[in-house]
Amino acid sequence: MSIFNAFNANASALTAQRLRMDVISSNIANANTTRATINENGEYEPYRRKMVQIEPSDKSFRTFLQKATNTTENAASGVKVTGIVEDEEPFKLVYNPSHPDANEAGYVQLPNVDPLQEMVDLMGATRSYEANITALNASKSMLMKALEIGK
């Protein structure tokens, strides 16, 4: 076991949460974008909400078995981002016949981004980021105290 395992685990979580905050910021910035991509028919589609997928770094059966049976040290392995996926929820339809992107019936497709949900997700990512910084500082403090003992 390395003395830097805690630092590595916290660093991976900080990186993942930072990416999550960036994606949420992008979602909020594009909450009203009606022409984000062109579909296979050559028509514009609104922006589609994106989400970050985060998983443990080490997902092998052997690792879970060793942790369950306490046959190895409970070393922190951290997390990793496995992908950024698009939310498949349907777009919102709003009646606005004067909008340039309105269809024949006068409805406009708006992105499937809910600003309230995004703000809640952003608060969660921020809290997680802050908690990892606190844990990182605690690990640093413990290592500094250990070095002081050796004086």
Kindly report whether the global pTM for this prediction surpasses the value 0.85: no
Using alpha carbons only, give the angle 147, 150, 151 rounded to the nearest 5 degrees: 100
For residue 112 the two structure tokens come to: 């499937």
Low-confidence ranges of the chain (pLDDT < 70): 1, 60, 63-64, 67, 70-76
Q: What are phi and psi of 80, to 5 degrees?
A: -145, 150
SS3 124: helix
List, for residues 106-120, the tens digit of each pLDDT value: 999 999 999 999 999
By C-alpha distance, which of 140, 135, 137, 138 is closest to 4?
140
By C-alpha distance, which of 24, 14, 48, 53 is closest to 34?
48
